[in-house]
């Protein structure tokens, strides 16, 4: 059942190219120029009326939502708020019939997410679910549903569900942009072309696992480490940090790279591992200067960026290259080395990779 892999998590990491292809599936027209969402009841008239979007989820699904917020705002120019589900319900969010609430849940059974969904519906919002399980409670109770075709995810640490949630968000954001005409059809085609190249680019990254494995073994003896990045890299850093904590039990923190010097920089000393993401061209120089700040305090830095970023390569101890794609889509690539890092660190420590302590796959209590 593990198809020759040592753990479900490793199998699921390797299933991501397929999960990407299946989630895109028939939602892209044959010519690669248009998004089609036959399953949505949401009409173009309703879409034109949406004046705000709320994204609500827990854990890894929340981290996918952070990228979703970015994609919707950038492509469809609709303001997006995002909350973890256990906070959303208790802060009296402003929900109107023009609000689209997107709940994200791999299992479709998470109690907090379900409660947020019910609260949103009670307030008259339209609720769209992004879930991996057909017929789950979230799928049944939402007004509309986008299924991520990642296939069953067994390992407690979510990998392919997260990354296919990203694909679902990209597709839906492009669809909103198409309906609202907030982007030119040329640009939409450009993004679709880049989306279709992702599965093969993920394969390339998976082929370079040795480098991440070595770094994972190196950091497994440390008790604290940091992930830094700006913009979408910060969102991916949060996911990388959660993944590592969840299965390796090593304490880590994700920090917006520019925020470090407002306090946390005090924790950087000789040998502290820092994983720095710098995949966003417009933020690149700023992130590199933050990397120099931690290097100057003795940090051991693994840098993740495109292969031709020489300034970055010079500034870090080790560099992991990800293939070139559009800035908007880099999370679908840059998360892969972070999943591998968590996996190999957990393995090096002899932990139960697929069933970490204290955690359940589906959290059905609030």
Query: Least distance from C-beta 192 to ligand M6R, angstroms?
Result: 26
Q: Which is nearer to ligand M6R, 244 or 257 (CB)?
A: 244
Does residue 361 carry a catalytic annotation? yes
| C-alpha closest to that of 341 among 262, 195, 241, 199 | 241
Nearest residue (CB) to ligand M6R, 100 versus 133: 133
**How many CB atoms within 10 Å of residue 111?**
16
Which residue lies nearer to ligand M6R by CB, 126 or 158? Answer: 158
Q: How far is the CB of 163 from ligand M6R (least distance, A)?
A: 12
Nearest one of 58, 166, 44 to 108, comparing CA atoms: 58
Task: Determine how many CB atoms are found less than 10 A away from the CB of residue 135.
Answer: 10
Residue number of the CB closest to ligand M6R reads 59
* Separation CA 11–CA 2 (nearest Å): 7
Which positions touch ligand M6R (CB under 6 A)?
58-61, 105-107, 110, 113, 156-158, 242, 246, 362-363
- Residue of 157, 174, 155 whose CA lies nearest to 166: 174
Residue 170, phi then psi, degrees to nearest 5: -60, -45
Catalytic, out of 34, 121, 324, 361: 361
Q: Which is nearer to ligand M6R, 111 or 326 (CB)?
A: 111
Report the nearest approach of ligand M6R to the CB of residue 105 (Å).
Answer: 3
Cα atoms in the 13 Å half-sphere on the side-chain side of 229 = 29
Angle 331-348/185-206 helices, nearest 10 degrees? 20
Nearer to ligand M6R, 61 or 328 (CB): 61
- Cβ atoms 258, 290 nearer than 8 A: yes
Cα 66 to chain center, whole Å? 7
In the complex, least distance from residue 12 CB atom to ligand M6R, rounded to whole angstroms: 11
* Neighbour-count burial of 189, counting CB atoms closer than 10 A to its CB (0-12 exposed, 13-18 middle, 19+ buried): middle
CB of 194 to ligand M6R, least distance (A): 26
Which residues are catalytic, by number?
361
């Amino acid at each position: 059942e593990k198809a020759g892999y040592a753990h479900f998590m490793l199998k699921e990491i390797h299933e991501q190219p397929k999960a990407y292809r299946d989630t895109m599936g028939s939602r892209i027209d044959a010519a690669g120029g248009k998004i089609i969402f036959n399953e949505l009841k949401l009409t173009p008239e309703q879409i034109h009326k949406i004046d705000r979007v709320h994204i609500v989820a827990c854990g890894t699904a929340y981290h996918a939502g952070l990228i979703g917020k970015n994609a919707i705002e950038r492509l469809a120019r609709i303001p997006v708020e995002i909350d973890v589900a256990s906070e959303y319900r208790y802060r009296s969010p402003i929900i109107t019939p023009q609000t689209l609430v997107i709940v994200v849940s791999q299992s479709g059974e998470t109690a907090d997410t379900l409660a947020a969904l019910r609260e949103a519906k009670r307030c008259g919002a339209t609720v769209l679910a992004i879930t991996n399980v057909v017929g789950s409670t979230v799928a049944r109770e939402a007004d509309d549903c986008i299924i991520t075709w990642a296939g069953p995810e067994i390992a407690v640490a979510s990998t392919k569900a997260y990354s296919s949630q990203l694909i679902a968000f990209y597709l839906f954001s492009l669809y909103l942009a198409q309906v609202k005409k907030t982007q030119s059809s040329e640009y939409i085609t450009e993004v679709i072309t880049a989306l279709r190249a992702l599965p093969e680019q993920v394969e390339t990254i998976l082929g370079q696992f040795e480098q991440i494995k070595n770094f994972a073994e190196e950091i497994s003896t440390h008790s604290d480490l940091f992930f830094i990045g700006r913009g979408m890299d910060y969102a991916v850093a949060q996911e990388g940090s959660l993944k590592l904590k969840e299965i390796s039990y090593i304490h880590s923190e994700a920090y917006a790279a520019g925020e470090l010097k407002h306090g946390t920089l005090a924790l950087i000393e000789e040998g502290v591992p820092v994983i720095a993401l710098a995949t966003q061209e417009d933020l690149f120089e700023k992130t590199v200067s933050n990397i120099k700040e931690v290097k100057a305090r003795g940090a051991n830095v693994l840098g993740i960026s495109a292969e031709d970023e020489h300034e970055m390569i010079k500034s870090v101890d080790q560099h992991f290259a990800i293939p070139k794609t559009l800035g908007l889509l880099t999370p679908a690539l840059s998360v892969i080395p972070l999943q591998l890092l968590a996996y190999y660190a957990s393995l090096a420590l002899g932990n139960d990779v697929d069933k970490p302590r204290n955690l359940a796959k589906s959290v059905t209590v609030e």
